[in-house]
Structure 1
Amino acid sequence: MPALPPYATRELVAGRLPLIFPEGTPNRTYCVRELAASTVFTALYIGAVEGAGHCLGPVHVYRMTEEQAAKADQTDREAYGQGVLKKNFEPQGRRWYADNTREPIRDETLRDGLVAVGAVIRREDMPTTSGLPRYALKSDFAGLFDPALEGEDLEKAITAFQTKHLSKGALARISIMLAGAAASKEGVRIIFPNGETRQLAPGPSSIISKAVIEGFAARFLEAPAVLWLSESGNKVVARDDKLAAKIGLKIEADKNLPDLILADLGPAEPLLVFIEVVATDGAVTERRKEAFFELTDIAGYAREHVAFVTAYQDRQSAGFKKTGAALAWGTFAWFASEPENIVHMRDGTSKFKKLSELIVAS
């Protein structure tokens, strides 16, 4: 019988999961909550690790008790791993969970959480109706819970795991979250298209604004310029009256203005881009779109030379989940974690009517 992984307490597992899966990880709640810590602990406890020949089932988790979990001897751990599969087996003490926790363990913690992020593997050679255990921790993931692994060595191991197993989008989301958390009291430094720099207050909205000005504008505008930038607590942060006057737009601070107004000076007719930055709320809804159109109509702008973008941190963010359904047709949605992509809320006025035409056009 191969040796089991080093014994790690559930408390140690619970403490390391948020480090391994920081803010920005897809379905992070499923990967870091208590049920996830219980599942990973139990997998380590019975030796359900890639290549070891043992598998975990939800039954191993919901039948675990505090008394059993405290037995660190290999013989006790092996006995539990095998015995729990027997119908009449009951470990000493009170169970962690009831039998009806089977579904959250299987569907949320494992399938949508740890399997989805590459921390757990699942046997696919078994019938879906089989009740036999089928899950095991990836070996490099299991290694992150060795109590002897600490400090800088632990940090390096976690980084290596994230780089190998988390998707490009997930890593981007994590980087954005970490940048927001690390923003100093001095604020977030933004470099404008003309090379000018400005400092915004720290916070998620400032991080998204930085991504819009430094990333979105460069990717999606030919010759970008910033006409207006505002933030909570300081409505007008940056404003170029001469440039605004040059393109015929009269900006008034007491009007219903967006967080950002960009201009693309590349086309023969400049394009105005109204952008709402959403950390929690404030997307470009139909009402907001019409309010912005009122401003550009007065300025004499043709509506085909005006665009609207709602900028989010990522598709997993609370802001997008809250406001995505209210996005106005004919507008765009952009995610800082996936900067090369953009979502077009194409309305019924489009010349494309069939799905096949849309596929060709894209």
Structure 2
Amino acid sequence: MTTVQPILNRTEIHQRLQIIFPEGTPHRGYCTRELAASTVFAALYVGAIEGSGVFFGPKYVYAMTFEQSELTDDASRADYAANVRKSRFEAVGRRWYRDTTRESIRDETLREGFVAVGAVVEKTDVPTTSSLPRYALTASFAALFDPALDSDAFAVAAADWQAKTLNTGAFARISLVRRGASAGGTEVRVTFPNGDSRGMKPGPSSEITKAVIEVFAPHFLQDPAVLFLSESGNKVVTRDDLLAKSIGLTIRADKNLPDAILVDLGPQHPLLVFVEIVATDGPINERRKQALERLATDAGFPLKHTAFVTAFLDRSSAPFKKSVDTLAWGSYAWFVSEPEGLVELSNDKKGLT
């Protein structure tokens, strides 16, 4: 093997992966964790790059040692590539991982991560049961780890790679998450279903709120209207008591009021939708759902005509991961970055249909 590309260390690769795969990238965790950096390092170490005729597999990653990774001369790298697949091979030193990481490398980091986003190619003529190496970094992806790239040149190259490689949906999702996460400086203008508009202070919460009113409501409700809307700090943005009373609901000033109350006037009996906006915390958990149910029943609104939605920026973001295990059964989760989908946490005893 002739190695033509110098190699960054694993820490430097890990740092670059955070930029190459920004917040909003599908399966971002699989592409940015340390195991992903180890995988890229191992591939570069043996020269498994598209067009080279060299391929690698999970063992190339979990057999790597701290000491071996520091031997970056061509001879050491060629020796590792030539011997790593041998049954009794052991590189000198302490391993990065145990053999049991094989499935995580293969199924998560490679197949669901790098292969899915176009960073790694896979040989299709190798049987799935074969232990032969089948993966290689795409040439364009491998080029992002050239040590000769300074920070500015790398940033330009990474942005170019994203634009050319990530599919339209993934790229749009990244753009939405970036916009929501960094929103600041200018007022967020929200347009209501009736055509009215209100200004909200800049920030991620307001960006999520805007998407709930302008995207979620018209997509999932037949004839949507906004009964109540607030922003962080308990400032009331809008409140429509006349419309609420017309459907038999009385909105009282209450600490349990959600961030937004929507109503669908399309069905024969209106549907009341309580929405919590989560930029950091505060999802509809079981305790919160019970409080909102009491709010509805106290106002004389039947629970069978109510729904509970927690709105997040993205399902790969920290706020969702932090709160997913606390979301109430019988509620929904919606994501700005994937607006056409709706996650239902069903506790229906009938099970799957």
Q: What TM-score comes out, normalization by structure 2 length?
A: 0.80
In structure 2, the residue matched to 1:190 is: 189
User: 2:283 — aligned with what?
Assistant: 282
Deviates more, 1:317-326 or 1:106-115: 317-326
1:358 corresponds in structure 2 to: none
Deviations 1:324-348 (A, max 9, x none): 785454x654322221334567887
Cα drift, residue 38 of structure 1? 1.6
In 1: Cα distance, 2:344 partner to 2:111 partner: 31
What letter is aligned with 1:189? V
- Please tell me whether residue 27 in structure 1 is matched to residue 21 in structure 2: no
Task: Say which SS state the counterpart of residue 149 (structure 1) adopts.
Answer: coil
- What corresponds to 2:296 in structure 1? 293
> What letter is aligned with 2:201?
L
CA–CA distance in 1 between the matches of 2:93 and 2:340?
A: 54
What is the match of residue 74 of structure 1?
Answer: 74
Distance 1:74 1:17 in 2: 25
Q: Which shifted more, 266-275 or 70-79?
A: 266-275
Asked if 1:50 is matched to 2:46, the reply is: no
For 2:348 and 2:42, locate their aligned partners in 1 and report how far apart those are by CA, in whole Å.
Answer: 53
Is the Cα–Cα contact under 8 Å of residues 251 and 299 in structure 2 kept in the other structure? Answer: no
Deviations 1:203-253 (A, max 9, x none): 4x4332121022223434455443312244325343344554565543212
CA gap of 1:348–1:86, structure 2 versus 1, over 3 A, is closer
What aligned pairs does 1:1-362 form with structure 2 within 5 A after superposition? Answer: 4-184=4-184, 186=185, 189-193=188-192, 194-200=195-201, 202-203=203-204, 205-221=205-221, 224-234=224-234, 236-241=236-241, 243-244=243-244, 249-254=249-254, 256-264=256-264, 272-279=272-279, 280-283=281-284, 287-288=290-291, 290-297=293-300, 306-317=306-317, 320=320, 322-323=323-324, 326-329=327-330, 332-343=332-343, 355=353
Whole-angstrom CA distance in 2 between matches of 1:324 and 1:167: 30
Q: 1:104 to 1:272 in 2, by over 3 A?
A: closer
> In structure 2, how many angstroms separate the alpha carbons of the residues matched to 1:345 and 1:101?
31
> How far off is 1:287 after superposition?
2.4
* Deviation of the 1:22 alpha carbon: 1.6
Of 270-279 and 13-22, more deviation after overlay is shown by 270-279
Per the alignment, do residues 250 and 50 of structure 1 end up closer, same or farther by CA in structure 2, a change over 3 Å counting? same
Task: Note if contact 1:256-1:291 (Cα within 8 Å) is conserved in structure 2.
Answer: no
Identify if the C-alpha distance between structure 1 residues 231 and 81 changes in structure 2 by more than 3 Å, giving closer, same or farther.
Answer: same
- Output the amino acid matched with 2:175: S
Residues 319 and 327 from structure 1, CA distance in 2 versus in 1: closer, same or farther, beyond 3 angstroms?
Answer: farther
Kept in 1: contact 2:229–2:236 (CA 8 A): yes
| Structure 2 SS opposite 1:116 | helix
> Root-mean-square deviation (CA), in Å?
3.6
1:359 corresponds to which residue? none
- How far apart in 2 are the matches of 1:326 and 1:67? 45
> What is the deviation of 1:14?
1.4
1:339 to 1:101, Cα distance in 2 relative to 1, 3 A: closer
Q: 1:65 to 1:234 in 2, by over 3 A?
A: same
Q: Which has the higher contact order (CA 8 A, sep 6+)?
A: 2
- CA drift of 1:177 comes to 2.9
CA distance in 2, matches of 1:74, 1:112: 31
Counterpart-to-counterpart distance in 2, 1:15 and 1:347: 41
Label 1:110 to 1:198 Cα distance change in 2 as closer, same or farther (>3 A): same
Q: Where does structure 1 lack aligned partners over 5 or more consecutive residues? A: 356-362
Q: List alignment gaps of at least 5 residues for structure 2.
A: none
Q: Is the 8 A contact 2:190 2:213 kept in 1?
A: yes
Counterpart AA for 2:309: V
What displacement does 1:44 show? Answer: 0.9
Aligned residues of 1:281 and 1:323 also touching (Cα < 8 A): no
Q: Distance in 2 between matches of 1:263 and 1:309?
A: 12
| 1:283 CA drift (Å) | 2.1
**Fraction of identical pairs, as percent:** 51
CA distance in 1, matches of 2:91, 2:255: 68
Contact 2:28 2:316 in 1 (8 A): no
What is the alpha-carbon distance in structure 2 between the residues aligned to residue 101 and residue 341 of structure 1? 32
The answer (yes or no) to whether the contact 1:249–1:296 under 8 Å persists in 2 is yes
| Aligned CA distance change for structure 1 residues 266 and 108 (closer, same or farther; 3 Å) | closer
The one-letter code sitting in structure 1 at the alignment partner of 2:283 is G
Whether contact under 8 Å (1:188, 1:207) holds in the other structure is no
In 1, the alpha carbon distance for the partners of 2:2 and 2:101 equals 30
One-letter amino acid of the counterpart of residue 290, structure 1:
E
* Contact preservation (8 Å) 1:115, 1:121: yes
Figure out how many residues of one structure are paired with residues of the other and give that number: 347
Cα distance, 1:333–1:59 mapped onto 2, change above 3 Å: closer
Distance 1:346 1:237 in 2: 32
Q: Is contact 2:177-2:337 (8 Å) kept?
A: no
Q: Per the alignment, in what secondary structure is the counterpart of residue 117 of structure 2?
A: coil
Give the secondary structure class of the aligned counterpart of 1:293. Answer: helix
Structure 1 residues 293 and 34, CA gap change in structure 2 (3 angstroms): same
Closer/same/farther in 2, CA of residues 326 and 48 from structure 1, 3 Å limit? same
